[in-house]
Amino acid sequence: MRVDVLTLFPEAFEGGPLAVSIIKRAREDGLLDLQVHNIRDHATDRHRSVDDTPFGGGQGMVMRVDVLDRALQHVQGQDGSPGLVVYLSPQGELLADSLVRELATNERVILVCGRYEGVDQRFVDHCVDREVSIGDYIVTGGELPAMVLIDAVARHIPGALGDEVSPEEESFADGLLEHPQYTRPAEYNGWAVPEILLSGHHAKIEMWKQEQRLQRTRERRPDLLEGGSPQE
């Protein structure tokens, strides 16, 4: 899978969470091809301007449609595939597990990171396929949301986790939160691991896990059950 990132701050993607652990291995193994591009390289004036004041007045600056379009066309021309163009925006659809899985089915995704007061709406209307938000709050730019999206999607690339079952056992995989996890020591400071997990009775352990998932979801995210309770 190839992921291209259009950003004003390519240095934000050097090192950091995309250069360690699972994502690092996926990149080294050729499962994830991450390419980062500087939008400012496609400005045409000597100041390399990428934004301007909004028509109609208002605070802040807006990223220019012409610069963004040139940057996008340049990147799309590199791989012979236009890819799925995603703009990271607080006004987009929420990055839920179902959307993560859908995005992971694409061979190429192009992420556009906004800054300032956002981007010219004409770019969104004519160049963007999906607007995606990571939550109902504002962050400084699209770089952090892009990293969250890349990490979440990369976990669903076949072979990225080294265990094809793992994504199906995590929270949200079937609409439920994940069950509690325990490891050694079996008792510490008077805090004991549930006896069922030490019993070796696999069928009962699976039943316990499912019960815990349902209980956690009811207590912490009842909204996940509103569309109909998963099989108990």
Mean pLDDT within 75-97: 95
Q: Which of 64-68, 71-75, 171-175 has the lowest mean pLDDT?
A: 171-175
Q: pLDDT tier at 144 (50, 70, 90 boundaries)?
A: very high
pLDDT confidence of residue 231: 47
pLDDT confidence of residue 228: 54
Q: What is the pTM of this model?
A: 0.88
What residues have CB less than 8 Å from 76, skipping those under 6 apart? 82, 83, 110
Indicate whether 232 pLDDT > 50.
no
pLDDT confidence of residue 227: 65
Mean pLDDT within 114-130: 96
pLDDT confidence of residue 172: 76
pLDDT confidence of residue 80: 83
pLDDT confidence of residue 50: 97
pLDDT confidence of residue 100: 97
Q: pLDDT tier at 105 (50, 70, 90 boundaries)?
A: very high
Mean pLDDT within 77-104: 95
Q: Which of 20-34, 83-97, 172-186 has the lowest mean pLDDT?
A: 172-186
pLDDT confidence of residue 152: 97
For 36-52, the pLDDT digits (tens) are: 999 999 999 999 999 99
Mean pLDDT within 148-171: 82
Percentage above 90 pLDDT, the chain: 88
Q: Give the chain's domains with CATH numbers.
A: 2-154 (3.40.1280.10), 171-225 (1.10.1270.20)
Number of Cβ within a 10 Å radius of residue 32? 21
pLDDT confidence of residue 167: 66
**3-state SS string for the chain:** CEEEEEECCHHHHCCHHHHCHHHHHHHHCCCCEEEEEEHHHHCCCCCCCCEECCCCCCCCCEECHHHHHHHHHHHHCCCCCCCEEEEEEEEEEECCHHHHHHHCCCCEEEEEECCCCCECHHHHHHHCCEEEECCCCCCCCCHHHHHHHHHHHHCCCCCCCCCCCHHHHCCCCCCCCCCCCCCCCCEECCEECCHHHHCCCHHHHHHHHHHHHHHHHHHHCHHHHCCCCCCC
Nearest to 220 by CA among 186, 185, 179, 191: 179
Mean pLDDT within 219-227: 90
Mean pLDDT within 187-193: 96
pLDDT confidence of residue 56: 95
The mean pLDDT of the chain is: 93
pLDDT confidence of residue 229: 46
